[in-house]
Structure 1
Amino acid sequence: MTLHLQKSYTKASSKIAITGSKSEANRLLILQALYPNIKIENSSNSDDSSLMQKALASDEQLIDIHHAGTAMRFLTAYFSIQEGRDTILTGSPRMKERPIGILVDALIALGADISYLENDGFPPLKIRGRKLAKHKVRLEANVSSQYISALLLIASSLENGLELTLDGKITSVPYIKMTLGLLDQIGVENSFEGNVITIDPKQEELKPQTLVVESDWSSASYFYSIVALSEVGTKIELSSYKKDSLQGDSALAKIYKQFGVETSYSENNITLSKSSIVSQDSKISLDLSNAPDIAQTISVTAFGLGISCHLTGLHTLKIKETDRLVALQNELSKLGANISVTNDALVLDVADAINSEIEIETYKDHRMAMAFAPLALKTSILIKEADVVSKSYPDFWKDLVHVGFQIK
């Protein structure tokens, strides 16, 4: 499905309700499977979370999680401790190109029985569930935080808990702290001191409890971009968010001040307001190693405002739904950007103009579709495979129309 986004203008004031964070929901779904006394409210309506729920409820041997990278990592760990169960875990052709060897090696070091069915280091996997008695393992600290969180989520179910040592500089710390924060909420003892994370085993049954998933800050990023590209005075209210968020992408509130966007907090909502015009002499320099998923949104915002930006800490974007750095370079260049990328950084210089009626390839990546959509406030663009947004935000296009976008 290709959507034609005509040059649009936002309403002066809008309200949007965004469903629960995919990141939080997927972690809680694993914990709920391990501890059935947990109930979840405001869960994510994303494809990824739906696939996770179906996989956890399935009695079939073959589990296909399609494009859901988080589900692949978390379920690899989960099924490795399901004693007596054999599982084949597979996914889309792109999923079979996304490495998982680091996590598999760590689980095998703890005693797991996992083998590769096609290429070593990549899905599909054959997993024979068993009790894991070993409790010490090491990982390189700069790997995807999802490998680390996958281990942390099952750690309290292990006979002796887990002592995880991270070697080197740790990236995506907020996502690790999110996982530990959720363990705190359900009563699992843990510590994160220096480069060592320790999780105590949880032998007794958890008390019944209900956990409410905060709305997704990654989804909020697109409205930050929309407000940044709108007229001064534009306001969009988003629910349900909190100031003391566990999500790393809540850094948006601070980052977008540089784009003239102020964030105000009420009881359960945030209001984004365009407060000032950003000078085209501005240059945005950010280390996004703790929030790499918002790099696409930020770079497109900078391009739309006609300012330069230098983003670093992006090495994990190479192994996402697509190589997001190359994808950004390709599509922004078509629009007229002066952009260069390396394995972990992006440099965007001021462009002379924005080309109109450009078709944006999405590379089966939900964030490509949503990150580029706000540019319709500057020029008409076309978004190919626009339905890919259902992976994380099924209502995205409907919500854009609600704030004033003209979409065919």
Structure 2
Amino acid sequence: MSGRGSAPVDPRRAEAEGRGQSPWSALAGVPHLDVAPHRAPITATLALPGSKSYSNRALILAAMADGRSTLGGLLRSDDSYWCIEALGRLGAAVTVERDTAIVMGLGRRRPLADARLYIGSAGTSARFLPGLLAAGDGGRVTLDASRQMRARPMAPLLEALRSMGAAITCPLTADAPPLDIAGGTLRGGAVTMSGAVSSQFISGVLMAGPLAPEGVHVTIPDHVVQKDYVAMTLDMMATFGASVAVNTDLTDMRVDPGAYRPTDVMLEADASTATYFFALAAVTGGHVTVTNVGTATRQPDLRLIDILERMGCAVTRAPGQVSVAGPEGGRLAGGFDVDMRPLSDATLTLAAIAPFADGPIAIHNVAHIRNHESDRIAVICRALADLGIRVEERPDGLTVHPGRPTAGVMDTHDDHRVAMALAVLGVAGEGLRLRDPGCVSKTCPPFFDLLAGLGVGVTTA
């Protein structure tokens, strides 16, 4: 399905135009896609593509190890492609066969001549690479990104790295890509930084620790906005041989100087992607089992299953898989408030199914998602209102009231989570036409193929 009407993406042209699309994109050049309503229960057992969060952490740390690592379950998405492309320009050899990557890492070595890396719209690469580049051996590297990433400043990260000696300048936009980075300048040491803005900024400092001569000691004076993602980083660092010591609330973290060692890793499915399929089971009265992510995960978005249970779904949990069965007829329970800060990437998933509940659902503490690929709170509120759903927008969230959404034509705002959440809404409602559907390739290129495989009507122009 997704290949129909698609044009292959030239990575050189995508880079020149500052786009995030890659040769791994789906629906390239397809202006819109129609999702039909689906009245029957959706029942399926499926394995989903790998975790974006784990894939890019593992790719980058494997490249910083000195030797060969094998990564299974890799996500083949735009973000992963550009991460691999950047690591290759840096000198790491990465070969990919289906969902397995073999990485010949660099250790501390860096290109002898100046290098230019392009990371598309990969936020993880933008936040994780600067410290590692500044901590490696000498040499200058320019790290550039898509227009979208150039509009997302990284001041807290860059300030923290500079305070530890990193020579990083921003020739075009303050505290945003492109970044000019001098290798061998990050000495490490103690740094205090807020955790209230982005867990990725904290992870970017921590990951550089083993390559910094003094290691790093990170103190967080407030709170970590998504603590699970920092824990995920620390786990992956330990897997690749880093020595770390942390307190229970992750406000005091020490990383010893040393090195990363190569290792083999099997990556689990993306829990954020899984939420859309669990939501489909919920709103259609169906039953969906995802076989390659479960309660053993660090990924916080899997906790959406707890909210679905509160809404009347039956949930079966296991360390490696989860099943969700929606209530008969798909009528969900509402009438509650929920703090979505720990699982904020699932905010739009919940907002998409909230109209089908029997009472309003109020979502709180997700102000930070206004600064993601789009202003996600404003975008989903506008979309719901345009489809006839009563919604109240607040600075830190929204309240969605019960209603029957109409059909409509929706912008995806080049935001993969907007596109996938609206697709769920269209399936449960009266159908939708989505503009720029290919933006799902940031994290799940086969998303619409997977929908079609469940029996949902998906057509492109």
How many angstroms does 1:275 deviate by? 4.1
* CA distance 1:318–1:131, shift in 2 (3 Å): same
Describe the SS at the equivalent of 1:50.
helix
**Residue matched to 2:341:** 289
Paired amino acid for 1:363 = H
* Counterpart-to-counterpart distance in 2, 1:380 and 1:64: 37
* Counterpart-to-counterpart distance in 2, 1:282 and 1:249: 19
Deviations 1:282-320 (A, max 9, x none): 223211211111101111111233541111121221211
Deviation larger for 57-66 or 82-91: 57-66
Query: Does residue 355 of structure 1 match 2:406?
Result: yes
**Residue matched to 1:51:** 82
**Residue matched to 2:321:** 269
Q: Is the 8 A contact 1:9 1:405 kept in 2?
A: no
How many angstroms does 1:92 deviate by? 2.1
* Counterpart-to-counterpart distance in 1, 2:45 and 2:432: 25
Deviation larger for 81-90 or 324-333: 81-90
Query: Does residue 40 of structure 1 match 2:90?
Result: no
**Residue matched to 1:169:** 223
Q: CA RMSD in A?
A: 2.0
* Structure 2 gaps, min length 5: 1-30, 91-113
**Residue matched to 1:5:** 35
Describe the SS at the equivalent of 2:193.
strand
* Counterpart-to-counterpart distance in 1, 2:416 and 2:53: 15
* CA distance 1:278–1:307, shift in 2 (3 Å): farther
Paired amino acid for 1:158 = A
Q: Is the 8 A contact 2:281 2:324 kept in 1?
A: yes
* Counterpart-to-counterpart distance in 2, 1:345 and 1:354: 20
Q: Is the 8 A contact 1:322 1:365 kept in 2?
A: yes
Query: Does residue 242 of structure 1 match 2:294?
Result: yes
Which of 245, 248, 251 does residue 303 from structure 2 map onto? Answer: 251
**Residue matched to 1:18:** 48
**Residue matched to 1:299:** 351
Describe the SS at the equivalent of 1:133.
coil
Paired amino acid for 1:271 = S
**Residue matched to 2:206:** 152
Which of 409, 422, 433 does residue 372 from structure 1 map onto? Answer: 422
* Counterpart-to-counterpart distance in 2, 1:329 and 1:11: 27
* Counterpart-to-counterpart distance in 1, 2:185 and 2:215: 12
Paired amino acid for 2:79 = D
Correspondences of 1:187-226 after superposition (within 5 Å): 187-193=241-247, 194=249, 195-203=251-259, 206=261, 208-226=262-280
Which of 237, 257, 260 does residue 183 from structure 1 map onto? Answer: 237
* Counterpart-to-counterpart distance in 2, 1:142 and 1:131: 27
How many angstroms does 1:276 deviate by? 5.4
Deviations 1:28-51 (A, max 9, x none): 111101113432111111111111
Question: How many equivalent pairs are there?
Answer: 402
* Counterpart-to-counterpart distance in 2, 1:15 and 1:255: 21
**Residue matched to 2:388:** 336
**Residue matched to 2:176:** 122
Deviation larger for 98-107 or 179-188: 179-188
How many angstroms does 1:127 deviate by? 1.1
Q: Is the 8 A contact 1:10 1:404 kept in 2?
A: no
* Counterpart-to-counterpart distance in 2, 1:186 and 1:213: 14
Describe the SS at the equivalent of 1:291.
helix
**What TM-score do the two structures reach when normalised by structure 1?**
0.93
* CA distance 1:262–1:199, shift in 2 (3 Å): farther
* Counterpart-to-counterpart distance in 2, 1:13 and 1:266: 19
Paired amino acid for 2:415 = D
* CA distance 1:288–1:17, shift in 2 (3 Å): same
* Structure 1 gaps, min length 5: none
* CA distance 1:64–1:114, shift in 2 (3 Å): same
* CA distance 1:92–1:186, shift in 2 (3 Å): closer
Q: Is the 8 A contact 2:134 2:167 kept in 1?
A: yes
* Counterpart-to-counterpart distance in 2, 1:265 and 1:280: 20
Q: Is the 8 A contact 1:10 1:403 kept in 2?
A: no
Q: Is the 8 A contact 2:315 2:324 kept in 1?
A: yes
Paired amino acid for 1:53 = I
* Counterpart-to-counterpart distance in 2, 1:374 and 1:325: 17
**What TM-score do the two structures reach when normalised by structure 2?**
0.83
**Residue matched to 1:392:** 443
How many angstroms does 1:172 deviate by? 0.3
Which of 55, 60, 63 does residue 30 from structure 1 map onto? Answer: 60
**Residue matched to 1:91:** 145
Deviation larger for 260-269 or 177-186: 260-269
